[in-house]
A and B are shown apart, each in its own frame.
With several copies, the nearest count.
Chain A
């Protein structure tokens, strides 16, 4: 049944017990993203240190897909050099755009491959991407500030 391929156990686990949920007291930047078609929202705090992602914390309301995806994302990128985190993000975006034709590279995406089934449901792709896009935006904004400061 397709439903199980969409909602894999990993997803339901992350949904029930999201990681890195709850905003850190301090951050380099805070971003707020919404999905205008459904009203789901995420607030994300990012701390970068020495070219790496020191911490990603978030809060928000959303469906199982968006919550699980944000949880998986924050697990994945934390501790990685920013470059590498962005490559993971690229890889995940590609998977989401694949309309069910890819299963995802487990080496790179780890738990996130469980979201491969989402790519078959165009209306849900945005849910899966909500947290990732917030993370990307946060990185871009911090880097932009540093450029400005130079």
Chain B
């Protein structure tokens, strides 16, 4: 992991007052290695043309580049290639599923009054509001797993919450606030026992650990490219072939059709059905390069590196008086995202002082407002780690927090 930093030009950027950048905000978006930028540029300068539509050589090469990107990304998550759909983001992927589940054309997958959707209190807004809206459209009801005070899913009422009326369980793999890695096995087992599908928000897991859709046993999975070393403007929606088959598309236009008259249209099969229009070709190629970059390092090495950083960080932060970790305060089932509060200093002010030293953290509700209410805070400061982070950066974080306490005279 030592040499990876050279692949990320931005990491040598000089920040305010000559400070070096310590980027601890990969949970929001990751930085990109030069290999990803080069892959995108190569697409534009060597094979840019609209895919799937032309018989000329450039169009052939563009299609080849785009479809091999799909293949690479599918293999990376253990999926079939035709089950792997390019969207613009994880947000779009989750909304796409919710729209399908509200369309009567999706047959038995379409929700109706009396049906239930289950989420959790730690969901990102992107895996909460689409379901609220789906319930509003269909008359289904929304229920959720509460969160324990150490930031775990409270599954004590699993069988009551996921009951026979449940059609969808939509849950995050790893919390973008707490770092908690959720125990999927019990949830998947119960959901399938009652005939519900499981939608996994894997935004915070796919970039950081080995994820295999078949092994997890889920039915749908979404993640964003930009959090996984890839370009902005791309996400992945994966779904089981037999479910994608049943589902109505939600974006309509070119390339997703089988035939069209003025009054009617029929659809191509997946993945095409869910990719209306000229797709985000360069971004797909860029994300494939990102995936190759991670595979070359090995997801297990990446995960190990991040766990080492996290353990070091927990130790360092726990030594600071007045600091409270929001989320699991141990290494058990957690990833490299740590949220905390500092007594007497608002997260915004903590972030500002850290920024002065080039330390980039996130502050606020992290698009998980209900979770903030659960913990009775208006926001937290969050540090999140990735493969390019170092122990020294974490020491700088701890030091920075102490400086903030000195500055605001709270310690």
Contacts and interface: CB of A to CB of B under 8 A. Distances in A.
A–B: direct contact at CB < 8 Å: yes
Interface of A: 1-3, 6-7, 12, 34, 36-41, 61-65, 121-124, 127
A36 B125 CA distance: 12
B364 interface: yes
Interface in B348-364: 348-349, 352-353, 356, 363-364
B379 interface: yes
Kindly list the 7 A-B residue pairs having the minimum CB-CB distance in the complex, ordered from nearest. Answer: A63-B348, A63-B346, A38-B364, A39-B365, A123-B55, A61-B378, A39-B378
Given A3-B407, A36-B258, A37-B52, A121 B268 contact: no
A34 B379 CA distance: 13
Contact of B259 (A2, A36, A61, A127): A36
Given A34-B258, A36-B268, A121 B352 contact: yes
Nearest to B260: A36
A38 B365 contact: yes
B180 interface: no
Contacts of A38: 347-348, 363-365, 378-379
A6 B352 contact: yes
Contact of B378 (A1, A37, A41): A41
B interface residue count range (under 10 / 10 to 19 / 20 to 34 / 35 or more) = 20 to 34
A121 B52 CA distance: 13
A121 B60 contact: yes
A127 B353 CA distance: 16
Given A40-B378, A121-B55, A124-B352, A34 B346 contact: no
Interface of B: 16-17, 52-55, 59-60, 63-64, 255, 257-259, 268, 346-349, 352-353, 356, 363-365, 369, 372, 378-379, 407-408
Contacts of A124: 55, 348, 352
B356 A3 contact: yes
Given A123-B54, A123-B55, A64 B349 contact: yes
Nearest to B17: A2
A63 B268 contact: no
A63 B349 contact: yes
B60 to A, nearest CB: 5
Residue with the highest number of chain A CB atoms closer than 10 Å, among B53, B348, B365, B407: B348
Contacts of B255: 37
B353 A39 contact: no
B346 to A, nearest CB: 4
Contacts of A64: 346, 348-349, 408
Contacts of B52: 37
Given A39-B369, A39-B378, 12 more contacts: A2-B356, A12-B408, A36-B259, A38-B363, A39-B365, A40-B348, A61-B346, A63-B348, A64-B346, A123-B60, A124-B55, A124-B348
B29 to A, nearest CB: 15
A122 B51 CA distance: 12
Contacts of A122: 60, 63-64
A38 B255 CA distance: 10
Contacts of A6: 352
B267 to A, nearest CB: 9
A12 B352 CA distance: 14
Nearest to B258: A36
B348 A39 contact: no
14 contacts: A3-B352, A3-B353, A34-B258, A36-B268, A38-B348, A39-B365, A39-B369, A61-B378, A63-B348, A64-B349, A65-B349, A121-B352, A124-B55, A124-B348
A39 B60 contact: no
Contacts of A127: 348
Contacts of B363: 38
A36 B55 CA distance: 14
Residue with the highest number of chain B CB atoms closer than 10 Å, among A7, A34, A63, A122: A63
Contacts of B372: 39
